[in-house]
Structure 1
Amino acid sequence: MLVVCVAGIYGSFLSWSYLQEKISSKNYSSEDDEAYFKAPLIINSVQAFFAMLVGTAYMSVKSRRLEIPAYFLFQDKKMLWNFVLIALSQAVSSPIAYQSLNHLDYLFYLLAKSCKLIPVMLVHRLLYGSKFATYKYVVAGLVTFGVVVFSISNKAKATSNDGRILLGFAYLFVSLLLDGLTNSTQDQLFSKSQSKNITGAHLMAGLNLLNAVFTFSYTVLFTRQFDYFRQFVVDNGPEVVQDILMFGLLGSLGQIFIFLTLENFGSLLLVTITVTRKMFSMCLSVFLFGHQLNASQWFGLLTVFVGIFLESFYKMFAHQKKID
């Protein structure tokens, strides 16, 4: 099961990350002008809508009957509150993180968003009183340290930002805490709702329903991104629409494997997989575009793989112990 989940996450999100980079960096102009797509909330809305549809189908297949996300959400007020809390933290975290790019280089953004293991454990500990085995702290430290070394060893290109570093760090800090709240609350929801048969499929469908409602409502009421999107397509053609739709589909398929991993193995292992997937995306970019890794980057990469091996070793050891 773990191998299938890892392969599904890697396969879906390596393609997804390619489209993410393409949408954010491609010049869609058919003429000599510049036309870069700058409406992230449109992308988030499409992603949430697709994930809701795929999650509903996934939930219906697992239960062998037609399931409606809103139906099980409103059966239990406490459960609904937990779903709303997670969906809000997801919906708010992304725009706050993007806001930090006005004040920080992209390197710092990528670095901070890649180091989710520690805030997840911090929120688990402070908010829910969870305790972890010593090896989990070692794994979190190794993976985070490896990502840090790999990222800061890469020479960053000059970027345009206002240099207000402290404000940028504040945005990122809040975003990471929200990410930690999301992952830890998902764990608690699973552990306390097993009698209610809450599965990864329920979580995927319910969260993305709420996420789509929140993101779409905010985009319509407080931004003009839909007007921008419509005019962008009129001026530059439908290619960006095709890319966004494929981006949403791949992300939705990837979420199935994410919630399977979360349901069966917990948020810490999930974060380890997703962080290392980002590392493989970076390595793939290096080999595809002929970049060369320096000694420090190879050291960082090796450190991450040591952390992965340690996590896998202890998981297999614990599983073998249960069998014996």
Structure 2
Amino acid sequence: MNNTLTLFICITGIYTSFITWGYLQEQITIQKFGPNNEQFHAPFIINLVQNLFGFIVGYIYLYWKTSNSTIKVSIFNKNLIKSLVLISLTQSLSSPIGLSSTNHLGYLLYTLSKSCKLIPVMIVQYVLYQKRFPRYKYLVVGIVTIGVVLFTLGLPSKKNSSDINGNLSIGLLYIFISLLLDGLTNSLQDDLFKKNQNLSGAHLMTGLNLVSFILTLGYTTILSNQLKYSIDFISQYPSILKEIVLYAVCGALGQIFIFITLEKFGSLILVTITVTRKMISMLLSVFLFGHDLNLNQWSGLFLVFGGIGLEAYLKLNQKKQSTITTDTKKEK
């Protein structure tokens, strides 16, 4: 009963936090201000605020989680910091590069593509760790890839404010780089957990957000003028600051529910929850922001989520078979 209640709270938390988070992300990305219809183009600043709130909430979560624990793991361990810096580097670059693609193509294609993390994760693990995968995973990757291709082919050839705002090729290149960085991030995280058995999700959340905040602050002050640009933009249009802060709070709270689900119920349940959440977010985006989808795009959309859903279903069956085999051996 307690597990059922905890799962219900986690599902509610993930849905509430990330559906709101997704809505605010699109709102911040596409809304226009003033007589000249200016848009806010500072993805590093959005991530900087997200990292700050993620660290604050993560540290509170870590303190609460470890206060009664006899096992203490410091996120300031030198060896751990090295791994966190590498993961944070790929993670902190992935999101702003991905968001930059929305300057060239529609937010829906960006969201759909970011749902296909399975492909770069498999490629990176195959190349770097020589890891082999069961056949059904290759089937899933094929279905997901066809879905993204169909959705891309369904984009109009002419520029449209809700679909293509710039150069399609550049937008797709940004998405490809972002997905490759996602693949590196997930593979490095898996490797970190294997090497540090006492490391929890709370440690990772706190450490990654701290290091990502420092790195992103460096990007905004040294490598770009986004900090000054953002200060000037927010001074002129202060309403966007409320949306960015609310976006960051939703993301930080959502991470808590994700890590609780991961620790208590495993990745299979988490994947099922997040896939359905993304589907709801995309459908809401279609209706709330007035996106018009043609047959190719609807087909691509359902192929992507159908492929990810198929993977979750096959994993569940595989896990059941493994459990039955284990129980049978114990009975013998």
Per the TM superposition, whether the score is higher than 0.5 is yes
| In 2, Cα distance between equivalents of 1:190 and 1:145 | 32
**2:50–2:252 Cα contact (<8 Å) kept:** yes
Secondary structure in structure 2 of the residue aligned to 1:72: coil
1:52 corresponds to which of 51, 55, 64? 55
Instruction: Calculate percent identity across the aligned residue pairs.
Output: 48
Matched, 1:34 2:33: no
1:9 alignment counterpart: 14
The answer on whether the counterparts of 2:54 and 2:249 sit within 8 Å (CA) in structure 1 is: yes
Tell me, in whole angstroms, the C-alpha distance in 2 between the residues paired with 1:89 and 1:217.
14
What per-residue deviation string (whole Å, max 9, x for no partner) do you get for residues 13-45 of structure 1? Answer: 21111111221222343xx45342222222111
Task: Give 3-state SS (helix, strand or coil) of 1:226's partner.
Answer: helix
The one of 36, 42, 67 aligned to 1:64: 67
After superposition, the Cα gap between the structure-2 partners of 1:162 and 1:136, relative to the gap in structure 1 and judged at 3 Å, is: closer
In 1, the alpha carbon distance for the partners of 2:8 and 2:301 equals 21
Contact 2:147 2:303 in 1 (8 A): yes
Aligned partner of 2:3 in structure 1 is: none
Distance 1:296 1:169, change over 3 A: closer
Deviation at 1:269, TM superposition (A): 8.0
* Matched residues, number: 311
Any idea what the Cα deviations from partners look like across 1:67-111, whole Å, max 9, x if unmatched?
xx9x8233251x222111100001222344455567x53476555
Is 1:94 equivalent to 2:85 in the alignment? no
Name the CA distance, whole Å, in 1 between partners of 2:291 and 2:93: 35
CA 1:135–1:3: 2 relative to 1, 3 Å: farther
RMSD: 3.3
Matches within 5 A, 1:250-265: 250-260=250-260, 265=266
**Corresponding residue number in structure 2 for 1:73:** 75
| Unpaired segments ≥5 residues, structure 1 | none
TM-score normalised per structure 1 = 0.80
Structure 2: unaligned runs, 5 residues or longer: 1-5, 328-332
CA distance in 2, matches of 1:280, 1:48: 25
Cα–Cα, structure 1 residues 21 and 105, in superposed 2: closer, same or farther, change >3 Å? closer
Amino acid of the residue matched to residue 124 of structure 1? Answer: Q
Matched ranges for 1:97-116 at <5 A:
97-98=98-99, 104-106=104-106, 109=110, 112-116=113-117
CA distance in 2, matches of 1:290, 1:229: 28
Decide whether the 8 Å contact of 1:28 with 1:239 is kept in 2: no
The match for 2:146 is 145
Q: CA deviation at 1:168?
A: 5.5
**TM-score, length-scaled by structure 2:** 0.78
Cα distance in 1 between the residues matched to 2:18 and 2:60? 20
- Residue 246 of structure 2 is matched in structure 1 by 246
Cα drift, residue 241 of structure 1: 1.4
One-letter code aligned to 2:88: A
